[in-house]
Amino acid sequence: MSNRSQLISTGKPFQFDRERDAEFERLSTRYPTRESLILPALWLIQEQEGWICQEALAYAADRIGTFASKLYEAVTFYTMFHLHPMGRNHICVCRTLSCWLLGKQEIVDFLKNEIGITPGQISEDGRFSLEEVECLGHCGTAPVVQVNGEFHENMDAGKLKELLATLP
């Protein structure tokens, strides 16, 4: 399981690129308070960098005009935010009851054998990262796996093997 509470410092200043800066400014007109921008700002950081470092969190807090601790609360609560670099293909396996009962562990075991990592790790070549997460909201089509943000339902080892073969 990944560490969900430790922010990593890159030692480098962070700022939004031009596209995300424009999106942040556009969004800032849509919300009634600046603190409503916490989740959108975190999404923009993750979209730009692939994960959220200490400097990016402080930058967003400054842009919003709030304390970094408020962003820290959000980023450590929601498993959708990554606090360390991920593999090019980030695989999330739902571990809640429906998925657990319908084969979640077989999927995790298959991935351990197929890509050689356990949840919370990144493959040596950086191609894959694996994480077990709380409910992905697809209980009716469990077990579910999310790869790079896309959901794959009714998964089994055979479907997963085919899916892995299509990933860069």
The Cα 4–Cα 78 span in angstroms is: 9
Please tell me the pTM assigned to this model.
Answer: 0.75
Q: Give, as one character, the DSSP assignment of residue 106.
A: H
Quick check: helix, strand or coil at residue 78? coil
The answer to whether 144 and 155 are in contact (CB under 8 A) is yes
Judge if the upstream peptide bond of residue 40 is cis by omega within 30 degrees of 0: no
Q: What's the order of all strands across the beta sheet hosting 145-147?
A: 128-133, 89-94, 145-147, 150-152
The Cα 23–Cα 40 span in angstroms is: 9
The total number of residues shown for the chain amounts to 168
- pLDDT of the chain along its 168 residues, tens only? 446 678 999 999 999 999 999 999 999 999 999 999 999 999 999 999 999 999 999 999 999 999 999 999 999 988 789 998 999 999 999 999 999 999 999 999 999 999 999 998 999 999 999 999 888 889 999 999 999 889 999 999 999 999 999 999
